[in-house]
Amino acid sequence: MDFWLTVIIMGLSFSVLLFLISSGLSIIFGLMNVLNLTHGGYYLIGSFVGISIYKWTESFLLGIFCGGITAGVVGILMERGFLRYLPGQLLDQVILTMGFLFIITNIAKWIWGPVPQMVPPPHIFATPLRIGTYSVYLYHLLVIFAGLIIAMILWYFQEKTLYGAVIRAGIDNREMVMAVGVNFNRVCAWVFFFGTIIAGLSGVIGLPLLGAYLESGSEILLYAIIVVIIGGLGSMQGALIGSLIIGIIHSFSKAFFPPLAFFMMYLLVVIILLLKPSGLFGKRS
């Protein structure tokens, strides 16, 4: 029982990171019809900027703020300068955004070097919690609790506010939204900006769990794409459920049969695509 509980806590904390990444990726794709493979790069930017600020100032909150804002600024510059001119052009989007992911990775290598970096949780949350013969940091529980709060806020924003209604309407029918006088380009810019901020925040939040390393951008992107396929495009609920599924599968796979961890996720993706190609909560176009 102790082992199972430890694995579940690890899986849930990883699920939070996946949710923060995949929710932005899903909404951006659903609203703007933009497949942004640079999204993992914003996670990478946030993690390295956050770890630098944390080491300089010993303030984890300041690291989270700076990591998120830096990722958001890079994201909005990319959206305004390039992506808004490529709606629906998936091949061009893939080539462009994958290229930017490589550029960001190499810039990070030039600035911070190739050696992975790790920081402990903030001192107040670094206390190990004993679960029988196993232990987790109090920080794991904090991440799970924070993820639950963030998920509730994002759900409320999308489902219960006027701005959320505009976003949902834009995902379903952008022409209708523009016909009633909504500045759709501005909506897209703000959604992209906040989506990339959240990706950057998740990079800092994940530092005590995963660390900062050059391959993290592409790795977390792969997980996020799997989550979006499972949950469905443009669905906050789908991103949450998909993240929970993948986080738990990843944790148990790593614990029991590590070589098959990715195979289990790919198998689930194949099953979902066969049974419900639009995802668990996605809508058929």
Per-residue pLDDT tens for 176-206? 888 888 888 899 999 999 999 999 999 999 9
Range of the domain at 109: 2-275
Residue whose C-alpha is closest to residue 63's, from 42, 44, 47, 74: 47
Q: What percent of the chain has pLDDT over 70?
A: 99
On the question of pLDDT at 30 being above 90, the answer is no
On the question of pLDDT at 137 being above 80, the answer is yes
Residue whose C-alpha is closest to residue 122's, from 137, 135, 112: 137
The pLDDT, as a whole number, for residue 179 is 84
What secondary structure does DSSP assign to the chain, as a single string?
-HHHHHHHHHHHHHHHHHHHHHHHHHHHHHHH----TTHHHHHHHHHHHHHHHHHHH--HHHHHHHHHHHHHHHHHHHHHHTGGG-TT-HHHHHHHHHHHHHHHHHHHHHHH-SS-B--PPPGGG-PEEEETTEEEEHHHHHHHHHHHHHHHHHHHHHHHSHHHHHHHHHHH-HHHHHHTT--HHHHHHHHHHHHHHHHHHHHHHTHHHH-B-TTHHHHHHHHHHHHHHHH-TT-HHHHHHHHHHHHHHHHHHHHH-GGGHHHHHHHHHHHHHHH-TT-SS----
Total domain count, the chain: 1
Residue whose C-alpha is closest to residue 86's, from 200, 205, 188, 225: 188
Residue 215 lies in a domain: yes
Residue 285 lies in a domain: no
Residue 166 lies in a domain: yes
Which of 200-209, 224-233, 252-261 is the most confident on average? 200-209
Residue 109 lies in a domain: yes
On the question of pLDDT at 50 being above 60, the answer is yes
On the question of pLDDT at 89 being above 90, the answer is no
On the question of pLDDT at 29 being above 90, the answer is no
Residue 205 lies in a domain: yes
Residue 203 lies in a domain: yes
Please provide the average confidence, as pLDDT, over all residues in the chain. 89
On the question of pLDDT at 21 being above 90, the answer is yes
- In DSSP terms, 117 is beta-bridged to 212
Residue 281 lies in a domain: no
pLDDT band at 283 (very low <50, low <70, confident <90, very high): low
The pLDDT, as a whole number, for residue 65 is 96
Residue 77: give its domain's CATH number. Answer: 1.10.3470
The pLDDT, as a whole number, for residue 285 is 52
On the question of pLDDT at 284 being above 70, the answer is no
The pLDDT, as a whole number, for residue 242 is 92
Q: What percent of the chain has pLDDT over 90?
A: 51
Residue 283 lies in a domain: no
Could you tell me the pTM of the whole model? 0.92
